[in-house]
Amino acid sequence: MRSVSSTTCFFLIIGLLVQLSVYFIAPHSPLALISGMLGICSVVLGAQGNILTFVFGFAQVVTYTYLCCIEHFYAEIAINIYYFITMIYGVYCWRRRMNSNTLQVHARRLPINVFPLLSVAIVLLSVFTGWLLKQYTDDPQPYLDAFTTVPAIAAQILMVMAYREQWYLWLIVDILALVMWLRAANYCMAAQYAFWCANCVYGYIQWTKSLENIKN
């Protein structure tokens, strides 16, 4: 079987074309374009459950972290260092649950009673983190920065452990990050996150199909 489906290839091409179009319409830094394109490759492959997502993910994290340093988005810097570390463990976890023919991970379903408790904890921690950023840093968007960071910590854990419910959290993170980068007038990064929102829906559908295949 093919490691990358035709649907994934189509979705990937659309995402890259959108990123390029936005760059030429509203040019920012070339690094923002590169980071955006790496991010699109990573999340589309992740939506398919393809372990190659980590190859592009490592490169995207490095470039994106540098962009966040320029904008003084300190919580985003911290979360991307966390991403880099957890992706190393993610490669190990996915390899253990991977179909060697398709390079796809076998998805899992989070117990129904866990998600509400997780959601409450995320909101409380996000508010507290936003307050800390407002009090002790020059972050221009402290609460928005916090609410893109804390849910992402939980989403990354669910992703590494191959839980489908990660896509709920990623969608929230991507919507808020889209707003954050629009306010920073970085339209390349905003375009990346707009596409990532659509990819969350695609990822949820793909991982649900994976669960149904395992059940059958």
pTM of the model: 0.81
The string over 49-68, giving b where at least 16 C-beta atoms fall within 10 Å of a residue's C-beta and e elsewhere, is bbbebbbbbbbbbebbbebb
Query: Any idea how long the chain is?
Result: 216
Contact 48, 8 (CB under 8 A): yes
pLDDT tens for each residue of 99-147: 877 778 888 999 989 989 999 999 999 999 999 999 998 888 899 888 8
Q: What is the pLDDT of residue 161?
A: 92
Across all residues in the chain, what is the average pLDDT? 88
| Cα–Cα distance for residue pair 183/165, rounded to 1 Å | 29
| Cα–Cα distance for residue pair 55/68, rounded to 1 Å | 21
pLDDT tens for each residue of 38-80: 988 999 999 989 999 999 999 999 999 999 998 888 878 888 8
For the chain, what are the domain ranges?
6-209
Tokens 């994934």 belong to residue: 8
